[in-house]
Structure formats: C-alpha cells, structure tokens
Amino acid sequence: MTKVTDADRVLILDTTLRDGEQSPGATMTHAEKLEIAGLLDEMGVDIIEAGFPIASEGDFRAVSEIAKVTHNSVICGLARARLPDIDRAWEALKHAPRSRIHTFIGTSPLHRAIPNLTQDEMAERIQQTVSHARNLCDDVQWSPMDATRTEWDYLKRVVEIAIKAGASTINIPDTVGYTAPEESADLIRRLIEEVPGADEVVFATHCHNDLGMATANSLAAVAGGARQIECTINGLGERAGNTALEEVVMALKVRSDIMPWRTNIDTTKIMNISRRVATVSGFPVQYNKAIVGKNAFAHESGIHQDGMLKNAETFEIMRPEDIGLSATNLIMGKHSGRAALRAKLRDLGFELGDNQLKDVFVRFKELADRKKEVYDEDLVALMRAGDDPENDRLRLKSLRVTCGTERPQQAELTMIIDGEEVSTSQIGDGPVDATFKAVKTLFPHEARLQLYQVHAVTEGTDAQATVSVRMEEAGRIVTGQSADTDTVVASARAYVNALNNLLVRRERSAPGENRREINYKDVV
C-alpha cells in the first residue's frame, strides 16, 4: 500500500482522468488518457486515479491499460459502495504493479436521503464493501462523499468503521466546495485525534472550488494532518473545478518556510502537461490562472518592468524555469533549420521522430512564410492543431469566403470525404456560420455545436488563432482544435477535426463504449 514514510511528505493523487474528465465536454479519447497518464507518471504523481471502471467499457479499458503501462505511480480505480463496482475495479487494476481501490458513499443527510438509507444501514454497507475491497487489494481508499456536510458524530463513526474494515487511506471530500480553510484544518485534526485507529492511516483531502477556496482548503487540511492531496491538472473538474495540482505543489515549494511539507513532483514538467490537458480536454487555461496562465510571468506596468530588469525577484516569487517554462522566448523564423526546430520543440516538451519532424517542419515553414516571427506559443499551437490527414476520413482541401458589411456572407468549400472530392457553396450569418453550414451540407450529421471559441496565440494582427469546438451527438461529446493565421480557416479545420473525432467515437460505440448514466440509487 502507499504509505507516507516521513512526516513532511505529502502524497499527490491526481484525478484528472476521473473527476477532471467529468467536467461537461472534457471527455478524452482512449489514446489521450494513456498519454496523460504517462505524463503524470513521469512527473512523479504518487497515485493516478485513472477512471471509474464500471461506468463504461471505455473507462474499464482505459484503467486496465494504464495499469499495465505505468511504471512509478499507484493506479487507482473508483467504485461505488457496491460489490459489483468493486469487483469491476479490481478486474481493471489487478495487472498494475501497485494498485488501489477507491470506494465511496455519500454520508451527509442530503446524500443518505437519495438511496433512503438509515445511518445504521449505511454503516453496515460501508463495513461490507470496504472489507470486500480489502480482501481483493491491500491498498484501499474510502471516502465519505460530502463529508463536510455530514453530522460530526456520524462522520467519526463511519470513518472508524472504514478503518477497522481495512481502509488504509481515508479521504475527506468537500464535494460541493462548501468548507473554508480553518474548518478544513480543524476537521482533519479532530478526526485524527478522536477516531480510534486514525493514527495508523493516511488522511487525504479532496476539495472543489465552488467558493474559490479549493487550494486554500487543501493546504489547510495538510496543516491539520492530511498527508494526501487529491487534485487535477489546471483545476479541471465539475462546476468550478477541483484543487489545481500546480497550485498546491508550487505553494508548498515556494512557501516551504511556513508550510514545511514536500511532494515528489518534478515541477519542471508542469507547463507541458498543463498545455496538453488544456488541448485534449478542450478547456483552455485562463490568461490570469495562477502558475500556468499566459500572464503568470508577464509584466506590463512600467514599475514592474523596471523592477524586473533590476532583479527578477522584485515581482516574481518563482522562476519560469521552475514549472518548465523557457526563461527566454526565442523567436524562430523562415530561415531557421530543422536542427533548431527540433531543439526548440524539445525545450517545449515535444520529442519528435524523424518522420514527425519532417511533417512539422513543412507546416512550420508554411507558417513562417505567413508570419514574420514564430514564437514558442505558435509552435505549441502548431503541435496541438489536431490535424492527422493520413488517418482522417474528412479533410479540408480549399476554402474561400466573402465577408464584410454587405450581406450575405458566403463560403465556397471543397473537402475530401473518404477519398472523394466534393464541393459546395453556402451562405450564412457571417463567414464562420457559412463555413460550418457548408461542411454540414457536404457531410450531413446530427451533432450539435456546444462550444465555439477563438483565442489569439500571440499578439499582433498576424497572430495565429487557436479555435476550439465542442460537439455532442447521442451522448457522445467530442472536441476539435486547430490553429491558423486565418481565423475562418482555423475554424473550419477545428470543426472538421471534431467531426473526425466523432467518427472515431461512432466506430468505437460498440456496446458500452460511451459512459452510461449511473443511477445514484444504485449506490447500495
């Protein structure tokens, strides 16, 4: 089982692939889950909560394969307080060198009322399910969902039951982001002091950000005695999100003078995985996001710039290099060669084979011909554009649009669909609307556009636009991305990219591939 070997060590459980993916529209493909798990493993995450195996065949397969390919992290699967859930989780996890079953049940009055359980009935269920999990796996985590709104005496009672039944980690979730730092610390402290056997297990904290206090509440819980923080990359998660891994890890690193605890995270890998999660989830990082936001190390005020020139520590409490951000944003151009491009991409976290480099170099040169200066952000956008023409059934060949104050706006589009070239001309309420209508005319579908957003990658009128779209069809949610100096072209490619991803999901929708709805009443 995963134990804290010294008093100043804090374990990091990353649940980006489970709780983070539950954020509406953040569904990742199987390959993307494996990739993110690999990055988390390399970064030093202690426990990766890889999914909810009984939720769908896709979740089961992802957890099972992650369990086989990771090298360092404990792989964890979530299970409700039901024996079939626990058995399914163990079936997915049993191949891992180190595995953990995480089982949970809602203990607050509001959550007990949903399955209509008495306190005694729920207590019996906890004892039964935790014992069953412990008989399968020697590392069992148990969570009283909505713990921060559970009656104190009952919370103590069920925590004691879970410990006696064999749980080695007790996670205290603030499921709806209800608590505050002082209360968070006090809750953990009192449980450790008052529950028999509490000194023999690891206490964990799992906070949501509904009131904007997830990071503060998590760190307060550590001060109260918790030695595991549950978090996600970029704070991805339902509603306002989860505790952000990068925030708690860097807070502990920067303020070790007042928070004398450490993690095993290689912080220089934070920026790369942040960018990748933003891409595959379709949730871009806000510019002023702590640690990984675009403006986190940007200084515009004259006073700030003057201070930075004299001494960077004047206005920066950490170095960009600490999180894997290049200290200097060297500019590439049309005269840059392959060796320089390979070296630059390696600095940005991309290791390319010769064939990959050849393809990227061609696209880089095309971009450099249109854009005077190619910045690091442009290269990241180029790598994350989502184009895979060799495997895509739908491809954009050419696009011409008319726009301006005169109506109507028109799009003339040519695509290659399953090897056949087809064309159409459509009008719409603006060039993007006309383009999307043209795509739908050539490739009819019932998918609904849930999200369309545009971000400028860098400054200037020649900046690339990164476009993200999210689409839904029959419960399948897919995202598409692309980048181009022409916003309408980027929009068209992102839309087509999403449709290609949808086709992949359709093909995989053999029975059970998509996450099915879980009836909460089935918790018992």
DSSP strands (E only) in 373-464? 394-402, 409-417, 420-428, 448-456
Query: Is-contact 148 181, C-beta < 8 A?
Result: no
**206 among the known binding-site residues?**
yes
Q: Which residues contact 142 (CB under 8 A, 6 or more apart)?
A: 102, 103, 104, 126, 130, 162, 165, 167, 169, 170, 171
274 HSE (CA, 13 A, CB side): 25
Rounded Cα gap, residues 213 and 216, in angstroms: 5
> Could you identify the residue written with the tokens 């969570």?
143
Instruction: Name the 3-class secondary structure at 76.
Output: strand
Other CB atoms within 10 Å distance of the CB of residue 315: 15
Please state, in angstroms and as integers, the Cα–Cα distance from residue 272 to each residue in 36, 242, 484, 505, 512, following that order. Answer: 11, 19, 21, 26, 32
Q: Write the burial class of residue 260 (CB in 10 Å: 0-12 exposed, 13-18 middle, 19+ buried).
A: exposed
Rounded Cα gap, residues 360 and 455, in angstroms: 22
Rounded Cα gap, residues 330 and 118, in angstroms: 64
DSSP strands (E only) in 129-244? 140-145, 169-174, 202-207, 228-231
Query: Is-contact 42 498, C-beta < 8 A?
Result: no
Query: Is-contact 155 163, C-beta < 8 A?
Result: no
Other CB atoms within 10 Å distance of the CB of residue 46: 22
Please state, in angstroms and as integers, the Cα–Cα distance from residue 484 to each residue in 233, 350, 412, 453, following that order. Answer: 26, 20, 18, 14
Find the distance separating the first CA and the last CA of the chain, reported in whole Å: 26
Note the helical H segments in 204-269: 214-223, 245-254
**242 among the known binding-site residues?**
yes
**359 among the known binding-site residues?**
no
Selection from 216, 227, 215, 166 nearest residue 191 by Cα: 227
420-428 β-sheet, strand order: 394-402, 409-417, 420-428
Q: Which residues contact 219 (CB under 8 A, 6 or more apart)?
A: 181, 248, 251, 252, 259
Rounded Cα gap, residues 307 and 184, in angstroms: 38
For 427-451, b/e burial (b = at least 16 CB within 10 A) is ebeebbbbbbbbbbebbeeebeeeb
Residues at the binding site for Mn(2+) are 19, 206, 208, 242
Residues at the binding site are 19, 206, 208, 242
